[in-house]
Structure 1
Amino acid sequence: MFGTQDLWLFVVSGLLLNIAPGPDSLLIMARSASQGFKAGAAAVFGICTGTCVHILAAAIGLSAVLATSAEAFLLIKLLGAGYLLYIGIQMLRARSASDNSVGSKVPVTESVGKIFRQGLLTNVLNPKVALFFLAFLPQFVAPDAPSKAEAFLFLGAIFNFNGMLWCLFLAWSSAVASQKVQASARVKLWLNRLIGGLFITLGFKLALSRAEI
């Protein structure tokens, strides 16, 4: 279909890869646990939009440029690492509204639009994602495909849709778990800071990484 092969294996592999934890999953869990499902869903849709950018880049060959140009990879890698560090530092510096208003116990929240942009940039500025699509998708494009770009887009759409379903489930389950434990504002604040520390770790890891998948 659309010049693809082993489609069932692609779907299974994609689901397993989406389940693997990473910066995207951490952002979804952090926002869902601290602000609820709506905030987590905003992060999901931002991430999925970023994935669309990578899919289009792979289809038209921009990812190939990233794979062969050390300078381009270094630039995107440093931008991505810097953004992960920025998010991590923001989470570590997070303060509850009780620090500024007497008697209030509600944590300071981010707007849905800002969370969407965080998800988008976290995904787009990760060159490993671009290289992943360049290495993974061609394995499921038939050698005799009439349009390899069309096959790329078709496979990318399937991967992104399945990933969106998983991420929305992750957002929902994180929000429900947070409600059930009835975490206090202080607990949620320190959970945010813990995940912020993980983002800083991932930022340094990305900065020190090489171009290999």
Structure 2
Amino acid sequence: MFETLQQYQLEFYTIALIHLLAVASPGPDFAIVLRHSIRFGRRTAVITSIGIGLAILLHVSYSLLGIGLLIKTTPWIFKTLSYVAATYLGWIGIAAIRSSTGAYSEQSNGEHRHLSDKKAFIRGFLTNGLNPKATLFFLSLFAVVISAQTPTNIKIFYGVYLAIATGLWFSLLSCLLSYSKIRQFIGRNGHWFDRAMGILLIGLAIQLIVSDLF
């Protein structure tokens, strides 16, 4: 396995770099992790990050099976996916905007509102799994960057790496936001962060619908 992987080092490094640039850019995943970090605390944000990471395996699976090509070439399927994702992001965004001004006063002391681990995981998984842009990203990755001659086991390795790297990236973000000075700052200004994330999520939802119409 590792001897075979050495033959595809350049391909792997290219994938890793593209993925790093993609995961670091603002988007639904970033917004939901940031919101959960400032709203519910580090544990909830890390579990949300794990959900996002595992959702990557969903994209990898249908890309390997060729189902992704069907989604891309069948307009009504892709349009339905876009509308479902837009509705979901819009719902989360509205909830964020409606957050109360005093909702973060207790967080400066290290206390947070509660969101169950199950709900946090599901939110992370759905945010990434329903994202049409993630669908297009992985379709492009497997169609353009990854050679058709690359063995299936190497492609699976790529997928596992992308899932782990994504989960670790957002988990790191969650941990950074848990430092006392950052938490105290959030305790004073958290509702503005929440509303900003809400506007971002709603903007992303609108973008999904508008890009689909035109």
Asked if Structure 1 and Structure 2 have the same fold, meaning a TM-score greater than 0.5 normalized by the shorter chain, the answer is yes
Equivalent residue number for residue 64 of structure 1: 69
CA contact (8 A) 2:50 2:124 kept: yes
Residue 89 of structure 1 aligns to a residue whose secondary structure is helix
Rounded Cα–Cα distance in structure 2 between residues aligned with 1:182 and 1:193? 13
Equivalent residue number for residue 80 of structure 1: 85
Report the count of equivalent residues: 201
Residue 209 of structure 1 aligns to a residue whose secondary structure is helix
Tell me which moved more, 168-177 or 53-62: 168-177
Residue 134 in 1 paired to residue 136 in 2?
no
Show the 5 A alignment for 1:145-164: 145-147=150-152, 150-164=153-167
Tell me which moved more, 172-181 or 10-19: 172-181
Gaps of 5+ in 2: 104-110
Which of 119, 126, 147 aligns to 1:121? It is 126
CA contact (8 A) 2:38 2:186 kept: no
Gaps of 5+ in 1: 99-105
Residue 211 of structure 2 aligns to a residue whose secondary structure is coil
Residues 182, 195 of structure 1: CA spacing in aligned structure 2 closer, same or farther, 3 A cutoff? closer
What TM-score, normalized by structure 2, do the two folds share? 0.83
Which of 206, 209, 212 aligns to 2:208? It is 206
Give the share of equivalent positions with the same residue, in percent: 25
Residue 196 in 1 paired to residue 201 in 2?
no
RMSD: 2.5
CA contact (8 A) 1:95 1:108 kept: no
1:8-47 alpha-carbon deviations (Å, 9 max, x no partner) = 2222222222211211011111111222211110110111
